Amino acid sequence: MTARTLRFKVFIFWVGIILLPATIWGQVSTKVSPANPLYNQNQFREAAEIYERAIAGGVENGHLYYNLGNTYFRMGSLPKAILNYVKAQNLLPRNEDVEANLEYAVRQTADQLDGRKPHVLESVLFWVGDLNLSEHRMALFWINLAFWVAMAVRLRHQTPATQSARNILLAFLVLALVSTGFRWHQETRQSIGVILPQQIDVHSGWNATTVVLFQLHRGSLVSISQEKENWYAIELSSEKKGWTLKSNIAE
């Protein structure tokens, strides 16, 4: 391999890296664009199929989940609508449309229950919920870069100013690492479910013969904390806990 060939290959690699997001965006846009007119023509089932296909194809986009939530809402499937609004909110945490529609959909349910249990750390890391995981990763990337640049500058200029800058950036870097890790934990480990049947019994154990603690209705949002055979342990924000069959819950 000559030096010229090597340089050409490196050039192609970087061009590919730069153009990759644009290519993906183009593909996603093409996949989703036929669904929106269908929605506006009240052909909700067809629109939902297209949105679902895009999601099954690996597209992770808050606006897509939001549109799918709207479509299910129009189709009368409140649990699926709520579930997709929740997913949309994870990806678009500051989007007011998503928040308004989720709140409205929850208000249409019998229990009007948003049982998503806030984590204790959320009161300390209060900003975590305002950024999605992608934004957290980006913030971590830039803070990391800034920190190491500050470290490099400090090699030649060991002044109080560079020391302060390094310490501040180090603090930010630690916070960014913790925040990103926590957000990642929230999105991948914490499971949210929506009640599917009109009414379900929530038992004290993973057996139908155990005591019924309380009842929930279609569309209630719950936190899933544990799994046992074909049962889920669910928790509500009001500290109520219990077990119900997995088939009663959509995730």
Partner 1 sequence: MCLRTMIKTGKSCSPRPQKVFVYTAGVFLWISAFFILTMGTARATDIQITASVDQQELTLEDSVNFSIVVEGTRSAPPPQLPPLDSFKVRPRGSSSSFQIINGDRSSSITYNFSLLPKETGTFTIGPATVDIDGKKYRTAPITLIVKEPSAVPNTLREVFAEMVISNKKPYVQEQVTATLRIYHRVEIRNLKTDIQFQGFREEALKGPIQNTRIVNGIRYLSYEISTALFPLRPGKVEIPASIIELDEVDRTRNGGTSDRFDPFGQGSIFNNFGRLNHKTLRTKPITLDIQPLPQKNRPQHFSNLVGDFIISAQLSRTEVEVGDTTTLTVTVSGQGNVKDISLPSPQWGDDFKVYEDQSEYRQTTGARFVSGEKVYTYALVPLQPGRLQAPAILLNYFDSTKGDYVSIQTQALPLTVSPGTSDSKLKVVESGSDATGRSVNPVQKIGEDILPIHTGAEVFESQALTTGSGILYGIGLLLPVGLFLITSGIYKRQQRLKYDIAFSRSHGAYQRALKKLSALSPDSDPRGVAQELSLIVREYLGNILNLQGTAITSTEVEEKLRKGNFSAEEIQETREFLEKHETLQYAPTAGNPPEELIQNARSLLDHLEKKP
Interface contacts to partner 1, rule CB under 8 A: 17, 20-21, 24-25, 28-29, 32-33, 36, 39-40, 58-64, 66-67, 70-71, 73, 91, 97, 100-101, 104-105, 132-134, 137, 140-141, 144-145, 147-149, 151-152, 155-156, 207, 209-211
Question: Minimal distance in Å, beta carbon 127 to partner 1?
Answer: 19
Nearer to partner 1, 194 or 223 (CB): 194
Nearer to partner 1, 117 or 176 (CB): 176
Residue 153: how many CB atoms within 10 A of its CB? 15
Nearer to partner 1, 83 or 117 (CB): 83
Count of all residues that appear for the chain in the document = 251
Contact 226, 199 (CB under 8 A): no
Nearer to partner 1, 24 or 171 (CB): 24
Cα atoms in the Cβ-side hemisphere of radius 13 Å centred on 26: 5
Question: Minimal distance in Å, beta carbon 124 to partner 1?
Answer: 24
E strand or H helix that includes residue 76: none
Say which residue the tokens 């975590």 belong to. Answer: 128
Nearer to partner 1, 25 or 124 (CB): 25
Nearer to partner 1, 103 or 251 (CB): 103
Residue 108: how many CB atoms within 10 A of its CB? 13
Question: Minimal distance in Å, beta carbon 178 to partner 1?
Answer: 15
- The residue type of 199 is Q
Contact 249, 196 (CB under 8 A): yes
Contact 169, 201 (CB under 8 A): no
Question: Minimal distance in Å, beta carbon 111 to partner 1?
Answer: 14
Structure tokens, 220: 């209630």
Structure tokens, 192: 């949210």
Question: Minimal distance in Å, beta carbon 123 to partner 1?
Answer: 26
Question: Minimal distance in Å, beta carbon 161 to partner 1?
Answer: 19
